[in-house]
Amino acid sequence: MSKTIINTTNAPAPIGPYNQAVKANGMLYISGQIAIVPATRELEISNIYAEAHQVMLNLKAILNEAGLGFEHVVKTTILLTSMDLFARVNEIYASYFVDNYPARETFAVKGLPKNVNVEISMIAVETL
């Protein structure tokens, strides 16, 4: 099995011992992304809509670096600091998909890195 590390300057650099994504056997595994703006390394947390949008932009940049798009995504995991944020995050999340939404689970967790409100990871396939 070959493993390819995917990294792009168009998404935030990892803040720990992991890579932005790993491609193996036709699958792309994207690490959880938070709302760090790559150009400034600052958090976009002015409101939950802006935060969720930045997370999705970071995921899009990683997908693009791997030569893929949201249509290749088959599974996502969304972590929220409160289920009260679900509807607003879901609205932004849904706007990035045309149809055929991926499988997904959403959890409320006690805390997330850098005290953000949302983190999203994805699994995508190269061949549809």
Interval 72-85: pLDDT, tens:
999 999 999 999 99
What is the pLDDT confidence band of residue 54, given thresholds at 50, 70 and 90? very high
CB atoms under 10 Å from CB of 34, counted, come to 23
What class does CATH assign to 3-125? alpha beta
In this predicted structure, the answer to whether residue 68 has a pLDDT above a threshold of 90 is yes
pLDDT at 65: 98
Q: Where are the domains of the chain?
A: 3-125
In this predicted structure, the answer to whether residue 51 has a pLDDT above a threshold of 90 is yes
pTM to 2 decimal places: 0.96
pLDDT at 99: 85
Q: Which residues pair with 78 in a beta bridge?
A: 106, 120
Can you state the angle between helices 48-65 and 86-94, rounded to 10 degrees? 40
pLDDT at 2: 87
Are 69 and 24 contacting, i.e. CB atoms less than 8 angstroms apart? Answer: no
Tokens, residue 27: 């699958």
What is the pLDDT confidence band of residue 128, given thresholds at 50, 70 and 90? confident
